[in-house]
A and B are shown apart, each in its own frame.
Chain A
């Protein structure tokens, strides 16, 4: 007799989605999390009177009352909707290239087209043709995945654009590099510059944010993680924090349980791993249990960048320093080519060439911080490599040097921001590595080049019977998708149990 039916390793979105579903179905489930709080990326932390959001800039897939999105439906299945309050953002993104462009796109299709048409009058028609493509493409994708039997000719746009990069499509439609940059600016949410990013992801992002509106969660993403844990506990689930899993135990090719960092062995018939695929295969499973073919399949994938983030608690209202939108991107030029890509590989941040995004949730809802205060999370993507090479004794100095340069960039849009900082915390790629335990501190799982994209057959098979994966390393990244991956992981286990009975 096993101690548990299922052990879920990691309480990130994927782990939580699985744990709640399994416990709801009556399975005896144990959830083990290294950190003191649940959520993984989806957490907050406190400094002074601020509670900083770690990850969530814009939540996709909630939808509007008459058009509920996929995430809403997932959360409904998980029965946590009553515990959560979503705040719809009024703006898509404010994009600034100092001296060149300062445009705020709203979340409504006709307004976006108008705003762009006004700023780029000569390309007004191209803008509307582009959005037409984005929409038709999104619909075709849906039919492609729901009804593949219809064949490739039923989805001519997919056939044509599936393997195009975002840049190729932008080049096809637009002349002005600044306009292309407006569309390309969202690459920061996806991890690859437009010249490397499959067009599909950019199309899905625009379609989804415009049709279903970007949201934020009252209380930050921790409110979501806590609601899920609460649900899990109320279904009889057991959760242990401060408890890392060191090994997944295997007997006769099947999962037997886990061994914790404290050396306890806990048995179970199934294990859901929300740890990265890399650590699941390389750290948690003994080498002998991972056939070469699985490593080979993984070897073609590259880890996504990590991040460098400055969390600011400000003693002013957003408008006092010129923050007018919840989501912002600041670039120094319209050049989003490999020049930007390569900057992710540098240790330093250059306020005169690099780009960053920042979010100020208080613009969407003033209850976010206390009266007379607001918080900003300033993020740029960076690979961990140079940070790993840095001698530890230089760590703090470099961290402040980069953060300082990020603030210099932000000042170009928000002059005087420095005078209002009450609390500041800086996260480097090593910080992400520490809190997420992902290889290289990756924040978006594996990179999604065309060869890794949604069209390719992703085997859900794992090297060990009874082991199922969940989270951002087996799906596209983001809250919507990772939660769904957890629900699917639970489904796999339920099916396997059903087949047995």
Chain B
């Protein structure tokens, strides 16, 4: 019916001719089969198969795994980003994020440097159970902790603690390898001198490049130690960098370090937006977090009921994601620090603890969605996965 009408519209002839031509010379969409996935995978593969080419002992506590791609291709990343290693250990299918310690200009391999964590699950497995030649399944690079040239100053004050040096190693190496116009003041807090990862490499770089300044800060130094001692205090920063204005601050380390350093830096007159922190899940015990209810101990147990599924008991002090994994229930995860919402689940009933500042969408909150990697049961729960 309408077909008959449009033929009477002004300009119909031209439109009809257009259609004729396009039918002749149109687009053969079948030629593009697979291309979307191919293009996405060049930048953001969901999954990479990496082989351990080398294992380098860094300190008594740390080892570096050098990972090469099975298919010869590694996606680009921004210095400071991490990959997430998925694996099964002790019958638990789980994952852990590790910052890439090698620089982005090193396109042949990714280094991840793993620190042994007391009572940890995965770090021991990676350091003791993985051999050269083994294969690791990893996510593509991700994360928001990097120098963003749009808003970050060319002069960076970097504060690392423990294994938190890894993103900075990548950044610094990139700066010197690629001759980037940037300046780095690195304060590296460590319990002992022996535990400083990359010590000799960092010293060598700082010796050769005037734009890289390296200042280890040792909590329990040997008697004769002449460098900075204790924790990374604001006055150290002021003494070394002079006027802190016009600089962007980057912190990556254990939670205690944020609690201590962020106020120190703010006291130097630095606005909060100039202080970038890498996100970590709260340190155990989570009950030390502000807002944790007094009447609940991390060792209390609650019943978790999965809608149309299993019922099991979980510790209050353990992230819901981890409890699920221990029960053999797979929930995808990536950052494991509340940032990416990969591990999102819906709480149908019951209450969970979520550290303040966890970036959960407002409408997710409204409908009970939480990021299970940073959610801790405070009551019996019914959840939907």
Interface residue ranges, A against B (CB under 8 Å): 36-37, 44-48, 51, 144, 148-149, 151-152, 158-164, 219-220, 222-223, 225-227, 229-230, 233, 241-242, 278-279, 281-283, 287, 295-296, 298-302, 315, 388, 392-393, 395-396, 400, 403-404, 407, 418, 421-424, 426, 430, 433-434, 437-439, 449-451, 455-457
Given A46-B359, A439-B32, A450-B15, A457 and B27 contact (CB-CB distance below 8 Å): no
Contacting pair B28 A299 (CB below 8 A):
yes
Could you pull out 6 A-B pairs where Cβ atoms are within 8 angstroms? A158-B9, A222-B361, A223-B366, A225-B363, A302-B27, A392-B43
How far is B91's CA from A174's CA once the two chains are assembled, in angstroms? 74
- Bound: A300/B20 CA distance, A: 9
Q: Quick check: B75 and A159 within 8 Å, CB to CB?
A: no
Tell me whether A46 and B361 are in contact (CB under 8 A): yes
B366 vs chain A, min Cβ distance (A): 7
Closest to A262 in B: B330
Query: Complex: how many Å from CA A48 to CA B360?
Result: 10
Q: Looking at the complex, which one of B14, B23, B361 makes contact with A296 (CB distance below 8 Å)?
A: B23
Contact B6 A299, beta carbon cutoff 8 Å = no
- A44-B361, A226-B366, A282-B33 as given contacts; A37 in contact with B341, CB under 8 Å: yes
B144: Cβ under 8 A from any A Cβ: yes
- Give the contact stretch, choosing among B54-62, B145-153, B161-169: B145-153
List residues of chain B with CB within 8 A of the CB of A151.
5
Residues of B within 8 A of A226 (CB): 361, 363-364, 366-367, 369
Find the B residue at minimum CB distance from A407: B150
Q: A163-B11, A450-B15 are in contact. Are A437 and B76 (CB under 8 A)?
A: no
Is B312 an interface position by the 8 A CB rule?
Answer: no
Closest CB-CB distance, B89 to chain A, in whole Å?
22
Q: Known contacts A226-B363, A407-B150; decide if A282 and B22 are in contact (CB<8 Å).
A: no
Could you tell me the distance between the alpha carbons of A321 and B42 in the complex, rounded to whole angstroms? 39
Complex CA gap A456/B149 in Å reads: 48
Residues in A with CB closer than 8 Å to B150 are 400, 403-404, 407, 421, 424, 426
Nearest CB on B from A421, distance (A): 5
CA distance A279 to B29 in the complex (A): 9
User: Which residue numbers of B lie inside 8 Å of A, CB to CB?
Assistant: 1-3, 5-6, 8-12, 14-15, 18-19, 22-23, 26-30, 32-36, 39-40, 42-44, 75-76, 78, 107, 144, 148-151, 271, 273, 332, 340-342, 344, 346, 359-364, 366-367, 369, 384
Q: How far is the CB of A420 from chain B (nearest CB, A)?
A: 9
Q: With A and B bound together, what is the CA distance between A477 and B332 in angstroms? A: 32
A167 to B23, CA, bound (A): 26
Closest-CB distance, A417 to chain B (whole angstroms)? 11
Given pairs A162-B9, A437-B40, 10 additional interface contacts (CB within 8 A): A148-B2, A162-B6, A226-B363, A278-B29, A287-B30, A295-B29, A395-B43, A430-B39, A430-B40, A451-B18
Contact A450 B42 (CB under 8 A): no
Q: Which residues of B contact A424 (CB under 8 A)?
A: 148, 150-151
Q: Are B33 and A283 in contact (CB under 8 A)?
A: yes
Cβ contacts under 8 Å, B10 to chain A: 159-164
Q: Which of B5, B43, B344, B366 contacts A152 (CB 8 A)?
A: B5
Chain A: which residue is nearest B14 at the CB level? A163
Given known A46-B359, A282-B29, A393-B76, contact A438–B5 (CB-CB < 8 A): no
Say yes or no: B5 contacts A148, CB within 8 Å.
Answer: yes
Q: Which residues of A contact B107 (CB under 8 A)?
A: 393
A152 vs B9: C-alpha distance in the bound complex, in angstroms?
8
The complex places the Cα of A157 from the Cα of B19 at a distance, in Å, of 23
Complex Cα distance, B2 from A149, in Å, reads: 9
Chain B residues with Cβ under 8 A from A449's Cβ?
A: 18
Beyond A148-B2, A282-B30, is A439–B11 a contact (Cβ under 8 Å)? no
B76 A37 Cβ-Cβ under 8 A: no
Measured between C-beta atoms, what is the minimum distance from B371 to chain A in Å?
Answer: 10
Could you say which of B19, B40, B76 contacts A451, with CB atoms under 8 Å apart? Answer: B19
**Minimal beta-carbon separation of A404 from chain B (angstroms):** 6
**A241 touching B39 by the CB < 8 A rule?**
no
Cα(A437)–Cα(B41), bound, Å: 12
Contact A222 to B363, CB < 8 A, known contacts A163-B12, A396-B78 = yes
Chain B residue with minimal CB distance to A221?
A: B363
Q: Answer whether A299 and B22 are a contact pair too, CB < 8 Å, given A158-B9, A287-B30, A433-B39.
A: yes
CB within 8 Å for A295 and B28 given contacts A149-B1, A393-B76, A455-B9: yes
